[in-house]
Amino acid sequence: MLFFLVLSIAATFFISGVAVYAGPIKIAVNCTMKLGGAEEAAIKKFKQIVEEKSQGKLRVDIFMAGQLGKEKKVLELLKIGQTEMSLTGGLYRSDYANEYDPITIPFLFPTWEAIECYLAGPYGKKIKELALKNGGLVDFGPQKRAPRHMTANRKIYRPADMKGMKMRLPALKIWIDVWKELGALPIVVPAPEIYLAMKTGRVESHENSLVSPYSRKLWEVQKYLIMTGHIYFPWEWVASKPWWDTLSKEDQGIITEAVEKARKYGSAIEDEKDKFYLTELKKRGMEVIYPDKKAFQEKARPAIKRATHALAPGVYEAVMACSR
């Protein structure tokens, strides 16, 4: 009888124990970028902080290189609470708050600080509100992404130097419109074909952040690096609102603090990597040119104005105020 009583008590404690402790809360953090970049470094920093602060109650699982799908697919998963967090690009802005998103327009923002200013202002807050309403996203803020520049096989100092130049661009209407305004002949080429297109003369130039000419060894087919800094395109830390609402205030606080530290860390790493790529490209023989950026902005202005017509009233003025 005593044996069965002890067994019964033990079973009760076992069952209760399972009910009380169901294991750590798992947080999947997604990013479409490859391993080894500032994005992965930031997410690893986030993981470290969260797991230490929560003493193991929260566990972060990292999914890089689009393991959970492309950006649009992940946004859909976040909306319905099927994944937890993402370091995402700009698709959520264009999908959920397009009329408040001028960030994809080339030569509009002169610096990263102007981007931060805009996103911290009333229209940036509007983006967050619409991302929450339309996409079920909790938006924590931006992380720096290196500016985009040009490479070419001719010297480019001013827009006149670009006349008739065959330039590789992605199939983005706003970008094509702006570069046409500057005198280029845009040619849409898939990213994996950039090197071959340059080698065969199909295109004479392209634009991207410095990791592109470095990773693709474009110094073999391009002589000049033109530091236009024409787009500062941030990453954004977001979470699924349906999932977020299941967390305690304490856990939300741990995550919010960790994101703040991680995105600053990632931005600093991005700066370091950008300097490294520039140094390495110089070593490999690319000549660096600092063009007349104001001349590019002025020449592109008609296309920029056409692009801003689709935006909400006051957005363009807010960008100009942040750019002074």
Rounded alpha-carbon distances, angstroms, from residue 54 to 25, 241, 253:
10, 20, 10
* Mean pLDDT rounded to a whole number for the chain: 94
Q: What is the CA radius of gyration of the chain?
A: 24
Buried-exposed string 23-62: b where 16+ CB fall within 10 A, e elsewhere: eebebbbbbbbeeebbbbbbbbbbbebbbebbeeebebeb
Q: What percent of the chain shows pLDDT beyond 90?
A: 93
Q: What is the pLDDT of residue 23?
A: 87
Please choose, from the candidates 244, 219, 300, 295, the residue with its C-alpha nearest in 3D space to the C-alpha of residue 84. Answer: 244
List the structure tokens of 24: 């750590």
Percent of the chain at pLDDT above 70? 93
For the segment 263-277, the average pLDDT, to the nearest whole number, is 98
Q: How confident is the model over 161-175, as a mean pLDDT? A: 97
Q: Where residue 245 falls among pLDDT bands split at 50, 70, 90?
A: very high
Fill in the amino acid letter for 118.
Answer: Y
pLDDT at residue 243 is higher than 60: yes
Give the pLDDT confidence score for residue 49 in this predicted structure: 99
pLDDT in tens, 306-323: 999 999 999 999 999 999
Q: What is the mean pLDDT of the segment spanning 141-159?
A: 98
- Flag whether pLDDT at 15 surpasses 80: no
pLDDT the model gives residue 2: 41
What's the confidence (pLDDT) of residue 21? Answer: 54
Q: What is the pLDDT of residues 196-237, one digit of tens each?
A: 999 999 999 999 999 999 999 999 999 999 999 999 999 999
Question: pTM of this prediction?
Answer: 0.91
What pLDDT digit, counting tens, does each position of 33-89 carry?
Answer: 999 999 999 999 999 999 999 999 999 999 999 999 999 999 999 999 999 999 999
Q: How far apart are CA 123 and CA 317, in angstroms?
A: 11
pLDDT of res. 10: 45
User: Does the pLDDT of residue 12 top 90, yes or no?
Assistant: no
Among 7-21, 81-95, 237-251, 277-291, where is mean pLDDT lowest? 7-21
pLDDT at 246: 98
The pLDDT score that the predictor gives to residue 137 is 99
Tens of pLDDT, residues 124-142: 999 999 999 999 999 999 9
3-class secondary structure per residue, the chain: CHHHHHHHHHHHHHHHHHHHCCCCEEEEEECCCCCCCHHHHHHHHHHHHHHHHCCCCEEEEEECCCCCCCHHHHHHHHHCCCCCEEEECCHHHHHHCHHHCCCCCCCCCCCHHHHHHHHHCHHHHHHHHHHHHHHCEEEEEEECCCCEEEEECCCCCCHHHHCCCEEEECCCHHHHHHHHHCCCEEEECCHHHHHHHHHCCCCCEEEECCHHHHHCCHHHCCCEEEEEEEECCCEEEEEEHHHHCCCCHHHHHHHHHHHHHHHHHHHHHHHHHHHHHHHHHHHCCCEEECCCHHHHHHHHHHHHHHHHCCCCCCHHHHHHHHHC
Can you list the domains of the chain with their CATH numbers? 23-98+110-144+233-279 (3.40.190.170), 148-231+280-323 (3.40.190.170)
Count of CA atoms in the C-beta half-sphere (13 A) of 95 = 18
The answer on pLDDT for 20 being more than 80 is no
> What is the residue whose two structure tokens read 């937890």?
84
